[in-house]
Structures are given as structure tokens and as C-alpha cells.
Structure 1
Amino acid sequence: MWTSLCLVAGLLLCVGAAKQPSTTTKPTKPTPTPLSQENFYRILFRREDWNGDGVQSLSEFERLWRQADLNGDGSVNLTEYTSIGPSSKVLAIEVYKYLDHDHNGVISLQEVPRMFTAFDTNYDGSISEQEFVREKMRIYNLVKKEIGPDKK
């Protein structure tokens, strides 16, 4: 008898649940939060910190340059530079022009220490995340001002 009562009670609960409107809502897709330029550079810094020690050394900076030298000719030209990053092409071109210190159309390995020094603002021989982000933002804002809002 007890078993029959439990069975009937279970059936009544199932029938009652079937008649009730569903209280569960359809899951919604999360709205992506736009990534700020500063946070983008933080992520980039961490990706480029090859040994994960929280700073970039000159050898890590040179390794990035070698990675960008896609054809292995000993220099990074504009085509190679613009093909490695996710930023807008116009912005990348202007940043490249800024980084090409001698304005000869290529960035050679000899130019890398000068770039490194520009990022190493406290001159301790390594680039912290804060230094990296600050210099990237400075360059970004400088270039953005030069190209204007309608050329992005």
C-alpha cells in the first residue's frame, strides 16, 4: 500500500509539473565587453613575456623582432609588420613609420635596442608591464592624433 501511495504521489507531481509553465528561462548569450586599448596592451605584454617572469628583457624584445621577420632577410618591412598584429592597417602603418627610426623602410635588428630603451623608462634593463602599457598607449595616442578619427 505504501508503495502504491508513493507511486500515485509521484505521478501527481509529474502531471502537476507538466501543467505548470516552465520557470526556467532560455539562457542568454553574454554580451561581450569591449576591450580597452590599455587592457589589450596588458594582454599583449603577457603574451610576449616568453619566460613568464613579469618583465620583458632585450632578448625577448629581439625574439619578437625575429618572429616578425617572416622572410628571414634580417629586417622587418612594412608588409611583415602589418601582417603580425590585429590592429587596424592604417594605425599599424603609422606605428611602423614611428618605430622605423632611420626611416629607411625597414626595422633592422640594430634598431631594436633603441626601441627597447624607449620602453624601459626607468632604465633598469627590463620592461615592466606598466612601462610597456604606458609606452604603447603613448605611441597609440600620438599616432591616433596624427591620422585623425576618420582614417581608423
Structure 2
Amino acid sequence: MWTTLCLVAGLLLCVEAATHLPTTATTIRPTPTPLSLRNLFRIVFRREDFNGDGVHSLLEFEHLWSLSDMDGDGSVTVTEYTYSDQFGKFTGTELYKYFDHDHNGVIHLQELPRIFTEYDTNFDGWITEQEFVDENIRIYKFITNDVGTDNSYFGHQ
């Protein structure tokens, strides 16, 4: 999950940088094609499927969370999250607020099953690629509408 959000931010930065490259009269640069959010999240899902079984388990979900727990204290603070994420401090903070349901400033390992359930929409104990993609698009739209982040880099889902 954290890696997904980081990848989206990194891609936003890459697309932004690519659209502002200097050109000369003798150089023809290709126009970047709008990036599909669905395809982006499919790629991320497959990269985060550590055992390659086509689904995310709670164990894999917890592993992703532990990568953000930099000091190993069993909780992820907003500082750890924004440091480990590539969205930048402002957007990373907004994403963190979204996941920190009780707004206490930390996300504990014990809170992950609740977050996992948000992704596991059919409650079968596995997050499928479709569930993952749909939930990340829902979160992305919620955050961009709430924060007002420009989403013009992305094409149609």
C-alpha cells in the first residue's frame, strides 16, 4: 500500500519533469501519453506480490507497512511515512491522514487488519488485483478531490 502511493508520486514527478524538458529546433521530443491509473496500480500490485501468487495476503500487507516503520517501534508516524514516500511532504501527509483513522498521529501494526479490510472488499482474506486497483483509485480520487491535487497527468481509468 505504502509502496503504491510512493510509486504514484514518483510517476507524477517523472511525467511533470518530462513535460518541461527543453527542446531545440532540431530535436523532436515525443509527447508523453497520459498514464492510466488502472495500469499503474496493476503494475504496483504485481511488484508488491512478494510470493507471486496473484493475491496480497495480510502478511504481505504487513511487510509493506514494516518498510515504513523505520525505527522498528511497531508504529508508523507521519514523519516516517512522509520520509519513506515519494509524493512529497504535503500529499504524503494527506495520504497519512486518510489511513490514520483515529487521528492519533501513529498507525500501529494492530490497525493494519482494518486497513486491509478496506482493500479486501469481498472479505475472503485476500486482496485481488482488481480489489487493489479499485481501492487505490478510490483513495486517489478521494485525496485529489479533498486536497485539490492536479490529476491532469493521468488519462482515463
TM-score, normalising length from structure 1?
Answer: 0.73
- Cα–Cα, structure 1 residues 115 and 83, in superposed 2: closer, same or farther, change >3 Å? same
8 A Cα contact 1:58 1:113, kept in partner: yes
Alpha-carbon distance in 2 for matches of 1:91, 1:37? 17
Alpha-carbon distance in 1 for matches of 2:145, 2:85? 20
Identity among equivalent positions (%) equals: 60
Q: How far apart are 1:47 and its partner, in Å? A: 1.4
Over aligned residues, Cα RMSD in angstroms? Answer: 2.1
- Which residue of the partner structure matches residue 139 of structure 2? 139
1:105 is aligned to 2:72: no
- Which residue of the partner structure matches residue 153 of structure 2? none
SS of 1:107's partner is strand
Deviations 1:5-39 (A, max 9, x none): xxxxxxxxxxxxxxxxxxxxxxx776543433332
Alpha-carbon distance in 2 for matches of 1:60, 1:142? 25
SS of 2:76's partner is strand
- Which residue of the partner structure matches residue 53 of structure 2? 53
Deviations 1:83-110 (A, max 9, x none): 3333343222111101012111011001
Task: Report the residue type matching 1:97 in the other structure.
Answer: K
> Normalized per residue, which structure has more helix?
1
- Work out the number of aligned pairs and report it: 125
8 A Cα contact 1:38 1:133, kept in partner: yes
SS of 1:46's partner is helix
TM-score, normalising length from structure 2?
Answer: 0.71
Instruction: Detail structure 1 runs of 4+ shifted over 6 Å in the superposition.
Output: none
The one of the two structures with greater contact order (alpha-carbon pairs below 8 A, sep at least 6) is 2
Larger radius of gyration: 1
Alpha-carbon distance in 2 for matches of 1:99, 1:57? 18
SS of 2:132's partner is helix
Task: Report the residue type matching 1:135 in the other structure.
Answer: E
- Which residue of the partner structure matches residue 93 of structure 1? 93
SS of 1:122's partner is coil
